[in-house]
Copies of this chain bind each other. A is one copy, B any other.
């Protein structure tokens, strides 16, 4: 899920950064992404709980960015999309505990998967939303 979520959230937040003084509604955002508005509202709920945006209910409502795009690094957006999962997760299947490798693989793999996450965060911490949005 991280896969699509990062793209969706970055798209949303880029829109919000470009129209930072307007309340953008979920139907408009969904139209830009070409996905269902309910899915957008679900992602907006996550962005809201992470403090990046605020929302206004009722007529002429919508959402807007709370932070300056210069102060948001892409790593922050990535971490929201990532949640508590690893980007490359291990299998749902339980490996064979009677196997020398099977019984230890998830522990050892987990370390590598964590390093992968951190490598991404480190890289994306060097690019701000401001820089990204100015490409449009």
Identity of the chain B residue whose Cβ is nearest the Cβ of A112 in the assembled complex: B74
Q: Is A71 an interface residue (CB 8 A)?
A: no
> Size band of the A side of the interface?
35 or more
Contact of A91 among B15, B33, B118, B119 (CB under 8 A): B33
> Could you say which residues of chain B place their CB within 8 Å of the CB of A84?
none
C-alpha gap A109/B89 in the complex (Å): 22
Say yes or no: A93 contacts B4, CB within 8 Å. Answer: yes
- The listed residue (B74, B95, B123) touching A34 by CB distance below 8 A is B95
* Given A99-B31, A108-B135, A120 and B127 contact (CB-CB distance below 8 Å): no
Determine whether the beta carbon of B4 is less than 8 Å from that of A91. yes
18 A-B contact pairs sorted by A residue (CB < 8 Å) = A3-B3, A3-B90, A7-B89, A7-B90, A7-B93, A7-B109, A8-B91, A11-B102, A15-B101, A31-B96, A32-B99, A32-B102, A34-B94, A74-B112, A108-B132, A115-B124, A119-B122, A119-B123
